[in-house]
Amino acid sequence: MSLAADSPVHSSSSDDFAAFLDTELDSASDVSPDQDEVENEEAEGEEEVEDEEEQDEDGGDGDDHDDVGSDSSRINKRKAEVLEAAVYPMSSASRGEPAETSGASLDICSHPGVMGGMCIRCGQTVENESGVAFGYIHKNLRLADDEIARLRDKDLKNLLRHKKLYLVLDLDHTLLNSTRLADISAEELYLKDQREVLPDALRSNLFKLDWIHMMTKLRPFVHTFLKEASSLFEMYIYTMGERPYALEMANLLDPGGIYFHSRVIAQGDCTQRHQKGLDVVVGQESAVLILDDTEAVWGKHKENLILMERYHFFTSSCRQFGLKCKSLSETKSDENEAEGALASVLKVLQQIHTLFFDPVCFLLFLPQN
């Protein structure tokens, strides 16, 4: 239970992709043989009569297997069409133009992406999956390097038209501070037991999460920060924490689901152990800013990083980093809302955004056709 009231969108191609797949793949799997037969009945009338006569003569036993095979083939074909429409919204199929389905086109498919062992373009089974996993967009999705580059170019052009950049946000010690309930010190027990005496500002940003045995304190100014930054950036959460924790924190920060959508990257999405990387972000590196309190995890992307002052609200956080001082919770104080780290870095982000979209600077970053 939360100490606050119960927590109750410009979207990127990754958000549209995830939502579309969730709904359309289910409907594709539910296509029944009867529906297909009705749709094709007029075009195949005479052939069906001949087939039925042959079935009667042969006893019809072998055709059950053929029906199963054709049903499976139809479903796989439908799934492939759905996947291609999701990833390639400007393809001939999505515009209502005849799509190429010849055997030759399937043979030369480059398999730009694979989901659940099936190519997202041609529907063929792909045994040796390569590329980068984007499981946070959709489970079991893996994209080839060329396809990632294509999607990044497309997404960047769309974002630049809206005068936005990308912002990757760390969670712990950057936007919030969490502690295990078992690690709460004697001087912090008032946070659990004396809710009624807590100041309003503290009570509304402090959450007791019994189901994960943790307590989380949101950093002062975080809600204003996210609201203001969302008008300038498409934002990602990127944490070394596990996915259930990451999603819980995303819900505390963004209960209305208007800032992050599916863009929550967790430990299991990293392609290198103990390192964060922009290879799993659908954004051009030259247009990405990163806010994080730990420089070491961004070994390949330090030029994109704005190093944040760590937020130590709980005693366990101070101990973790060897700080021999009382925590903010023990002194019953907090960062200044108007002059704290998030308020300060927001001003920096606004300045960077202004410089980037200056007419002269903008031309340097604009993708060339």
> Which residue is listed with tokens 């920096």?
348
CA-to-CA separations, 132 to 21, 83, 147, 148, 302, in angstroms, rounded: 18, 17, 10, 8, 21
- pLDDT value of position 193: 78
The DSSP code for 262 is T
- pLDDT value of position 237: 99
Q: Is 275 helix (H, G, I), strand (E, B) or coil?
A: strand
CB 337 within 8 A of CB 220: yes
- pLDDT value of position 16: 57
CA-to-CA separations, 362 to 29, 166, 368, in angstroms, rounded: 46, 15, 12
**Within 3-141, where are the H helices?**
13-29, 33-40, 45-58, 63-87, 103-107
Q: Residue-wise pLDDT tens for the chain (369 aa)?
A: 444 433 334 456 566 555 545 554 454 444 444 444 444 444 454 555 455 555 554 554 555 555 555 555 555 555 555 455 444 433 333 334 444 444 444 458 888 889 888 998 888 888 877 789 999 998 889 999 999 999 999 999 999 999 999 999 999 999 999 999 999 999 999 998 777 778 887 888 999 999 999 999 999 999 999 999 999 999 999 999 999 999 999 999 999 999 999 999 999 999 999 999 999 999 999 999 999 999 999 999 999 999 999 999 999 999 999 998 899 999 999 999 999 999 999 999 999 999 999 877 666 656 665
Residue (of 131, 169, 167) closest to 151 by Cα position: 131
170-196 burial by CB neighbour count: b if 16+ within 10 A, else e? bbbbbbbbbbeeebbbeebeebeeeee
What is the CA 332 to chain-centroid distance, rounded?
36
Residue (of 224, 269, 236, 238) closest to 167 by Cα position: 236
Positions of E strands within the chain: 113-115, 118-119, 132-133, 141-143, 165-169, 176-180, 206-209, 214-218, 233-238, 264-265, 288-292, 305-307
- pLDDT value of position 130: 79
- pLDDT value of position 214: 96
Token output for 357:
């979209």
- pLDDT value of position 194: 74
The domains found in the chain, sorted by start residue, are 13-148 (no CATH), 163-365 (3.40.50.1000)
- Enumerate helices (H) and strands (E) in the chain, giving the number of each: 13, 12
Q: What is the pTM of this model?
A: 0.74
* Cβ within 8 Å of residue 293, ≥6 positions away: 170, 172, 173, 174, 307, 308, 309, 310, 311
- pLDDT value of position 354: 94
Within 10 Å of residue 306's Cβ, how many Cβ atoms?
A: 13
Residue (of 77, 157, 83, 169) closest to 120 by Cα position: 83
- pLDDT value of position 72: 55
Within 10 Å of residue 70's Cβ, how many Cβ atoms?
A: 13
- pLDDT value of position 49: 45
> Which residue is listed with tokens 């994209």?
143
